Amino acid sequence: MDRRQFFKTAGATTAGVAAATTLATPALSQGIKEMVIVSTWPRDFPGLGIPAQRLAARIAELTEGRINVQYFAAGERVGAFDSFDEVASGNAQAYIAADYYWKGKHPGWAPFTAIPFGMTYTEIDAWIKYGGGQELWDELAGEFGLKNFAMGNTGVQMGGWFNKEINSPDDLKGLKMRIPGLGGDVMSKLGVSPVSLPGSQIYENLVSGAIDATEWVGPYNDFFMKFYEAAKYYYWPGMHEPGAQLALGMNKKFHDSLSKIDQQIIKAACNEENAQTMAETNANNGAYLDRLVKDHGVQLREFNDDVYSAFGEAALEVIEEARDHSPLSKKIYDAVTAKTKEIGSWTALSDMAYVQKRNTFFNNG
């Protein structure tokens, strides 16, 4: 299947379903594997939906028709947050998502996306590939019949959009905020009511006043969400997702049924898209931040030390509670805590220190 065929097949819900019906018989007879991918992102959505579609198309392209990929964006086959069950049950073969959405199934999922005060992109990439992260991910995913790979990252996230200034921890009390993962649990300890809404539903809830605040990603991704129409204060830096890792979660039986070369191709395509998504995000965030401020009157605000201290204290409690869930959770959280310290000791002396000095002397900041 070439790219044109793929996008034609995956073009719309009804077309996708019809194609599945008509293709099933010849595909089986030729030994072609059907791979239905469901995603938690809206279709054609810059920065998240497009990378997911790009990975789906790439798997189809590189396997030269041996894997017939059908891609369904959020809501086209199942709701965003039903993706996990759809794949674990074998109804679909893979999801593309942020694994912290599944923290209610097991808190061990959160560190494979992000935890508050956790790892940046370069750090989590190092942990997964060379620090034992993938092995722990395999152990957890295996308990649910899944096999997961890193397939994208959007770097350090902004703290979120607020309809008023946050000058002290007290200003957070009583707010309803869209913030998933353990970041939501941190906010909860500070008196916020956290809500976990899929991307497609955030804007309407913010405009209607059903929520007072939201986080999403960063300037490039957030620009297209038009949050600036309802909340002018854009806070930085986010403590909740310092390097949110996106994932391809495959049904393990399906993964293991593939030939060795097709397993390798999927892994390689995920690696490729992981770097691609980060590059796309990094290339655009600065320019889109500028547009948000100059064209849409967005007010940038830095969380002050009082607010950040409150985040830190709450995060310690939240991480401790997640760690206490089970022996596997303890194993994962102990590992991520130790590796954040070990890998992060170099980030502090390299990227962090260098960029500060560069921007001081060359006025790039």
> Which spans of this chain sit near Ca ion (rule: CB under 5 A)?
215, 241
Per-residue b or e along 10-23, where b marks 16 or more CB atoms closer than 10 Å to that residue's CB: beeeeebeebbeeb
Smallest separation (angstroms) from Ca ion to the CB of 200: 14
Q: Which is nearer to Ca ion, 99 or 241 (CB)?
A: 241
DSSP 8-state assignment for residue 244: P
Q: Which is nearer to Ca ion, 212 or 241 (CB)?
A: 241
Q: State how far the Cα of 212 lies from the Cα of 163, in Å rounded to an integer.
A: 6
Q: Which is nearer to Ca ion, 72 or 101 (CB)?
A: 101
Q: State how far the Cα of 111 lies from the Cα of 18, in Å rounded to an integer.
A: 38
Q: State how far the Cα of 280 lies from the Cα of 53, in Å rounded to an integer.
A: 14
Q: Which is nearer to Ca ion, 37 or 217 (CB)?
A: 217
List, in order, residues 6 or more apart from 130 with CB less than 8 Å away.
none
Smallest separation (angstroms) from Ca ion to the CB of 89: 27
Q: Which is nearer to Ca ion, 16 or 160 (CB)?
A: 160
Smallest separation (angstroms) from Ca ion to the CB of 350: 26
Q: Which is nearer to Ca ion, 76 or 215 (CB)?
A: 215
Whose structure tokens read 């935890």? Answer: 115
DSSP sequence for 7-59: HHHTSSHHHHHHHHHHHHHHHHHTTPEEEEEEESS-TT-TTTHHHHHHHHHHH
Smallest separation (angstroms) from Ca ion to the CB of 215: 5
Smallest separation (angstroms) from Ca ion to the CB of 222: 9
Smallest separation (angstroms) from Ca ion to the CB of 198: 12
Q: Which is nearer to Ca ion, 125 or 215 (CB)?
A: 215
Could you tell me where the DSSP H helices lie in 144-259? 181-189, 202-208, 219-223, 252-257
Angle at 2 between CA 275 and CA 282, to 5 degrees: 20
Q: Which two tokens stand for residue 313?
A: 């204290």
Smallest separation (angstroms) from Ca ion to the CB of 35: 27
- SS3 call for 74: coil
